[in-house]
Amino acid sequence: MSHKPQTTPKIAVNAVVFNDKGEVLLAKRTDNSLWCIPGGHVDLGETLAQACLRELFEETGLRGEVVRLVGVYSDTKNSLHILQGPEWHTVRVSFLCEIVGGTIRASKETSEIKYFDLNHLPDLITDHTKRIQDAVENKTDALFQ
């Protein structure tokens, strides 16, 4: 797959969701078979929160609402989660969300959707473990990474 080099970073959002047992919602990607926090790129005309909730629904079938910001992650080394190449840079914004409706289902981008115990997480994309931990710990320094 060939990609045109970026001149500015892309913006991505993720929804960190916990159930009443404290398990985290993860989606298994169809492009690399790794598990991840549901999310994706922000479209033109969307707010970060709108994009987060749209991606949550598209990838999992669940409708949510944003509870709070977890963190903003802009380091370049953890930006290469889909192997686009060294010129690819994504600024990632994670939100804690709660589910308000919908039914769990896979999508064209996800093959499985499951809740996982925090002590038994599967292989995750790059820094998703850190983002989950930041949501659990309610860390404010996550805003500056």
Tell me the catalytic residues: 112
Using alpha carbons, select from 20, 21, 98 the residue that is nearest to residue 56. 98
